[in-house]
């Protein structure tokens, strides 16, 4: 069985206060628990595509990703790419084979323990859903993104449209968001197609993620 693992992060560990280290460990455990809720088939595919590691950081993700890519001898991000990622709570970076999550993001600050755990799990599920989408979406699925977005609940479609994603990213973001919501339902013991999910989107989820129950 593929086992997700925390990516090594010596740069963040040095000089961290005990309170910060304890919080970091709790957040790591939350993401690790979210990984274990994934179907085994999904964990296997995520390992294959390079999304089975994660790294919790406390800096803007564009800055962190660019530094890590440079250290790995890979291409660095442009200023525009860094600025775009700096606003994100989580991101999957295929060339790093890791999901990055910014635990210091303002969306997380101030949350109580249970809310923070639920939020971090949803971010992780979203990024893993995004990776599954990239691995399994067909060119037709990607080209159909704008129409598929029209079939989504208003809140989901609005959040994607207002985030300035390219049209070629619509399908991936839609699948990622629905996947995260469905995983949260499964964790509560709720299965089957939810009433808010259009049948065509349900078929898309089943085809790209095999999440059918």
Domain assignments of the chain as residue spans, ordered by start: 1-111, 137-213
Mean pLDDT for 101-123 is 94
Measured CA angle at 49 (ends 138, 164), to 5 deg: 60
Residue 213 confidence (pLDDT): 67
Is pLDDT at 13 greater than 70 in this prediction? no
**pLDDT over 70 for what percent of the chain?**
91
Is pLDDT at 66 greater than 80 in this prediction? yes
* Least confident segment among 77-81, 96-100, 122-126: 77-81
Q: What is the mean pLDDT of the chain?
A: 89
pTM of the model: 0.89
Mean pLDDT for 27-38 is 96
Indicate the angle between helix axes 113-136 and 199-209, nearest 10 degrees.
80
Locus of tokens 């949350």: 111
* Least confident segment among 18-32, 50-64, 117-131, 136-150: 18-32
Q: Which helix (H) or strand (E) holds 173?
A: helix 170-187
Alpha carbon distance 22, 5 (integer Å): 18
Is pLDDT at 10 greater than 60 in this prediction? no
Residue 19 confidence (pLDDT): 61
pLDDT tens for 128-170 read 999 999 999 999 999 999 999 999 999 999 999 998 899 999 9
Is pLDDT at 5 greater than 60 in this prediction? no
**pLDDT over 90 for what percent of the chain?**
77
Which tokens sit at 169?
A: 């990213």
């Amino acid at each position: 069985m593929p086992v997700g693992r925390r990516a090594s992060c010596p740069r963040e560990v040095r000089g961290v206060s005990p309170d910060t280290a304890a919080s970091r460990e709790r957040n790591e455990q939350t993401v690790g628990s979210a990984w274990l809720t994934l179907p085994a088939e999904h964990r296997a595919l995520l390992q294959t595509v390079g999304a089975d590691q994660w790294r919790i950081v406390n800096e803007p993700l564009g800055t962190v990703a660019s530094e890590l890519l440079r250290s790995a001898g890979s291409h660095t991000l442009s200023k525009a790419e860094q600025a775009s990622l700096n606003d994100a709570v989580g991101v999957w970076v295929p060339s790093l084979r890791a999901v990055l999550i910014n635990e210091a993001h303002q969306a997380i600050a101030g949350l109580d323990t249970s809310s923070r755990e639920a939020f971090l799990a949803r971010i992780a599920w979203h990024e893993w859903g995004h990776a599954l989408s990239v691995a399994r979406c067909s060119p037709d699925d990607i080209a159909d993104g704008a129409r598929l977005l029209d079939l989504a609940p208003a809140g989901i479609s609005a959040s994607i449209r207002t985030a300035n994603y390219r049209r070629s990213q619509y399908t991936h973001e839609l699948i990622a968001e629905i996947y995260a919501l469905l995983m949260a339902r499964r964790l509560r013991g709720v299965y089957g197609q939810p009433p808010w999910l259009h049948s065509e989107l349900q078929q898309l989820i089943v085809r790209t993620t095999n999440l059918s129950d």
